[in-house]
Structure 1
């Protein structure tokens, strides 16, 4: 049983209005003054802001579990969705079924489709001299790439885009009833896809839903409720981060024209730049854990059963690990240490698919333009993400 929040200290306010830069300034303050912080906002939770604390909590799945609350604000009103909502070893059969389909080789097989789609989405923007890179490009790219990966019927993709975006916006506005309503629409899609695969099975080595249907745990099929929850989770989990990250990258490059031109002149630098962008603009701050016992961290005691946010976006700017953490440094010596894709048993399984989309999108945006700049205000996300949801650009 999740006990009532007992802590009343308010170290920061997660519901304060934000702009593109303000969350990072606040997290820098917390790392200096209060690295293990508490708030009563968004239902009340603790926030870990330093690298070592975040890494510790992410890596120790025995002490810090996800099965009580896995996101701040709490959004799971409609059932458990493996693998994220389960702890090891219960989550392992779901990861075992999906991980082979997210290998580097398998992910790169979708690069051609991603490039073709990116060019198609960019063409009207180039013709119009610009547009909103998030609304017109990066909100569609991951939906279609994931749709291709999941081998969804093409006619379902617009519905998935609209349903997924509605759920994301409901989470950002922290409206529980709307979250539940939009999540149930995604559950209907998951049940529909499972029904299609049962009627027309596909190769489990190629199709994620078929892989889950074929999976066995201790000789038994995966439970129907959790099977549906897994497909529901997969439908939306890869949509948000690429959308936000492409927007974040375009904001940064609009502010740093020299870097923009450097990458345009030498596209071989793009993969290294993507890694530094992932560190600098990690789009997640709300993945959560719950400690199974009282835990001492950063000079404070976090009581058992209270929600803990792993603020990856802050950890990746921790100056003790990444000197000049607020600066973009191409080919940073220890860039491989960043936590943009998490750590431990719940690290992001879609790491290769995500990197591929960011690389392709940036290469194509740079190739299609001579220069771009911001043409209006940037709209930003709220918890659990951090970063851009709307980035209007002018192509010069």
Structure 2
């Protein structure tokens, strides 16, 4: 009879805003390389050094098999996240110039205008769900602007993307497939439009992928479709969850809320510390290409491993007072909220800009805010708040 797989933690348990971080602190103390039989069974690395090493070593920890827990890529490979170097290089080479700090700055006026228009009805009512009414829309429209998606597509993109996220949280493979296929249809339609009406590849991401060459040949059609499909969703979730989590923190810490409202120049530094404290993805998955030993535990080749950035960013051995908000933390540049290694998030500049603008506008438009109901939490692979009802005071 086969022995039962050890369960050092339960990733399927219902969570509060703080409970997952409490459990990860326990794992770092007692079982830093942890195993569970839930969500298909996987290992989890919780310590900073282990996570950083694995993220920077694609030869030992490949992303080409499974890139998140639970496994959700049922409908095709989506570069560059699903590929390792050098295969992922032409996709990053095509997209990275369009995700520069300069390009992010160009999006700032439209982002600020959008933030104000989304906040206006909430301000008039005296509150609302900052995620459902504000942060679920802001990144969709910003990425739509960046991708030059037709304006009439944006509501459909918002609804389809949110439906996919909820399907992942429900662990329904059929719902994941159905909602993912809707996003693939949008990706194919966008590519067909660019083939019919080409745009400048120095401006338009889809055109840049169509113009890209690898060993003198165009990128495979289905891989371009997968890349556009990936882009349509990847920039939507993290800002939505981050804004929700920051809202919870500032509702609890009214002194910090007032300090940032009075001194908006502090907001960029605060955003970096919030990214460390509330990394919106627990971490991406990797698959060992050989048997390995980490922290005295043996992980067999091909067993899924989750790199828990959310835990690593609170590692007490790296960040002093790791569960506390510390403005201008001296080693804040070490946080892993945007990953590490070849899959470091290329959209980091846009993400930071969205968070900064969002909080400049929320704080400027209010005299204060507090929680006004129950917080709804995300499930794996995200971590943080999915719905945060606020009352503006």
Query: What band does the TM-score fall into relative to the shorter chain?
Result: over 0.9
Q: Give the distance between the partners of 2:292 and 2:138, measured in 1 at CA.
A: 41
1:229 aligns with 2:226: yes
What secondary structure is seen at the aligned counterpart in 2 of 1:277? helix
Superposed counterparts of 1:28-107, under 5 Å: 28-107=25-104
The answer for the alignment partner of 1:110 in structure 2 is: 107
Q: Give the distance between the partners of 2:322 and 2:177, measured in 1 at CA.
A: 38
1:175 aligns with 2:185: no
Residues 125 and 53 of structure 1: CA distance in aligned 2, closer, same or farther (over 3 Å): same
What secondary structure is seen at the aligned counterpart in 2 of 1:260? helix
Q: Give the distance between the partners of 1:44 and 1:286, measured in 2 at CA.
A: 15
My pick for the range that moved more, 284-293 or 313-322, is 284-293
The answer for the alignment partner of 2:294 in structure 1 is: 297
Deviations 1:250-282 (A, max 9, x none): 000000000000000000000000000000000
Q: Give the distance between the partners of 2:351 and 2:385, measured in 1 at CA.
A: 17
CA contact (8 A) 1:51 1:316 kept: yes
1:208 aligns with 2:239: no
What secondary structure is seen at the aligned counterpart in 1 of 2:128? strand
Q: Give the distance between the partners of 1:7 and 1:63, measured in 2 at CA.
A: 27
Q: For 1:191, which of 180, 188, 191 is the aligned residue?
A: 188
Q: Give the distance between the partners of 1:228 and 1:94, measured in 2 at CA.
A: 12
Q: Which runs of 4+ in 1 moved over 4 A?
A: none
Q: Give the distance between the partners of 2:320 and 2:290, measured in 1 at CA.
A: 34
1:121 aligns with 2:108: no
CA contact (8 A) 1:73 1:286 kept: no
TM score, norm. by length of structure 2: 0.99
Q: Give the distance between the partners of 1:283 and 1:306, measured in 2 at CA.
A: 24
1:288 aligns with 2:285: yes
The answer for the alignment partner of 2:242 in structure 1 is: 245
What secondary structure is seen at the aligned counterpart in 2 of 1:43? coil
Size of the alignment, in residue pairs? 392
Deviations 1:53-109 (A, max 9, x none): 100110001100000110100000000000001111101100000000000010111
Pairwise CA distance, 1:173: 1.1
TM score, norm. by length of structure 1: 0.98
What secondary structure is seen at the aligned counterpart in 2 of 1:296? strand
Gaps of 5+ in 2: none
CA RMSD of aligned residues (A): 1.0
Q: Give the distance between the partners of 1:6 and 1:209, measured in 2 at CA.
A: 49
Pairwise CA distance, 1:286: 3.9
Pairwise CA distance, 1:294: 1.0
Deviations 1:323-361 (A, max 9, x none): 111000000000000000000000100000000000000
The answer for the alignment partner of 2:382 in structure 1 is: 385
1:368 aligns with 2:379: no
Q: For 2:214, which of 194, 201, 217 is the aligned residue?
A: 217
Deviations 1:17-53 (A, max 9, x none): 1111100000000000000000000000000111001
The answer for the alignment partner of 2:348 in structure 1 is: 351
What secondary structure is seen at the aligned counterpart in 2 of 1:304? coil
1:24 aligns with 2:28: no
CA contact (8 A) 1:286 1:383 kept: no
The answer for the alignment partner of 1:311 in structure 2 is: 308
